[in-house]
A and B are shown apart, each in its own frame.
Chain A
Amino acid sequence: MNDHVSDADEHLGRRLAAELPRYTAPASLRVAIVQALDPAPSRRPAWLSPLLAAAATAMVLAMVMLPLLPRMVPSDPSDQMLRAVVSEHSRALMWGSRQSQVIPAALPWLQEQSGIELSSTFVGDDLLTFVSAEPVYLLRQRGLAVHYRDTDGHLITYIALPGGDLKVPDRSRVQIERYRPALVRDSGFVTWVWKQRDVACFLVSDMVSTDDLERFKDYFVRVRASTEPSLAY
């Protein structure tokens, strides 16, 4: 009986393998599967993603590193000097004088500290009020600064430094009466630049508008005509 069943099973198995219809996958199914398995081509070019990633990284690094980078220093000594003078004026504008002294009482002390001798000094008038005088130390040189304030509240800073390296830019010179100082604009300030003997002189202010500039010319004449600096040593 068991043999009979076993034979019948084998026969049925062979019949299944031989006679049962086999269904073949349509070609469209193969295509659909392959398309579904392959990643869709990106609309972005292949090089764009790494480029964007690199740019983003560079931007973040720049934002982090920028405050740590040394500030760009002008290579020209005159430009360096001008930048230092403007910075000193900005500092006085923001924080006031460090050691304000009254002229002429403090002149001997100021000469000793600054190395600049003032044989005559503009001490103010009805338009410009004397604020203070103090020694300064800019670009490893001693000098002096005198601060005035006009009737509109503008701070005007006169600075005198040893001027051996200073070259007054000819193209920026402006004829004012009998003087020909250079007018230089930097960082939102205007500066008259000139030399008297071996002393580099600067008059700095924030009077940048056209009207203010005319008044600033007048201030220059007042200071220039009344101030005679020279190297003390």
Chain B
Amino acid sequence: MADTEFQREALQHLNALYNFAVYLTRNPPEADDLVQETYLRAFRFSHRFQPGTHLRAWLFQILRNTFLTFYRLREREAAIAEDGVPDWDTPMFHDTPLDEGSAMEAHTDLERAMRRLPEEFRTVLLLAEVEGMPLEEVARVMACPVGTVKSRIFRAKERLRGLLKDYDSK
């Protein structure tokens, strides 16, 4: 695939990637950086992309891996600096803490509840329900079997319903 054609096709997914990045980082400037880094990586490794396969899933996978590599690492470093205790032994599916003051404001209960979901749950719901991605593509982005994706969607909705119920009761 020629570079210009690859660039054109990749940029068609810019808005979807940016939306995903905002929900991952909860911070628009960081989402900007994350998306830009995603495209730079995608072009740097464009020779590895196989034409005919799903470019969208490939881009989302790069974005998520970049997020996990850099942003989580940064969060961990910050946690160590503040508490002096590493937090990587926290449970994988722990709830995201409440938004800090610097993070963007949530407009609806649904959005607020989404933000409180662990990243793995947030990601499957965003990809499968919001982006309408087939489960096979979601599995590719998350590098896990389709069965795991189904299980995570089920559990994510269950957790989301619980959070929404809390908001309703308040």
Contacts and interface: CB of A to CB of B under 8 A. Distances in A.
Contacts of A12: 129, 157, 160-161
A60 B139 CA distance: 58
A17 B108 contact: no
A16 B125 contact: yes
A43 interface: no
Given A26-B32, A36-B36, A20 B22 contact: no
B39 A16 contact: no
Nearest to A26: B32
Interface residues of A, number: 22
B11 A33 contact: yes
A20 B114 contact: yes
Main secondary structure of the interface of B (DSSP, over half): helix
Contact of B40 (A9, A20, A30, A36): A36
B111 A21 contact: yes
B35 A33 contact: yes
Interface in B32-47: 32, 35-36, 39-40, 43
A13 interface: yes
A66 interface: no
B44 to A, nearest CB: 10
Contacts of A33: 11, 14, 35-36, 39
Contact of A22 (B19, B39, B153): B19
Given A16-B110, A22-B19, A29 B161 contact: no
B28 interface: yes
B130 interface: yes
B93 to A, nearest CB: 18
B15 interface: yes
Contacts of B108: 19-21
Contacts of A29: 14, 18, 32, 35-36
B96 interface: no
Nearest to B109: A19
A37 interface: yes
B7 interface: yes
A37 B40 contact: yes
Contacts of B157: 8-9, 12-13
A24 B40 contact: no
B89 to A, nearest CB: 31
B70 interface: no
A19 B110 contact: yes
B28 A23 contact: yes
A25 B14 contact: yes
Most buried by A among B132, B153, B157: B157
Nearest to B131: A17
Most buried by B among A22, A30, A32, A37: A37
A19 to B, nearest CB: 5
8 closest pairs, A vs B, by CB? A25-B18, A16-B129, A23-B22, A13-B129, A23-B19, A33-B39, A25-B14, A12-B157
14 contacts: A9-B157, A20-B108, A20-B110, A20-B111, A20-B114, A23-B18, A23-B31, A25-B15, A29-B32, A33-B11, A33-B39, A36-B39, A37-B7, A37-B39
Interface of A: 8-9, 12-13, 15-17, 19-26, 29-30, 32-34, 36-37
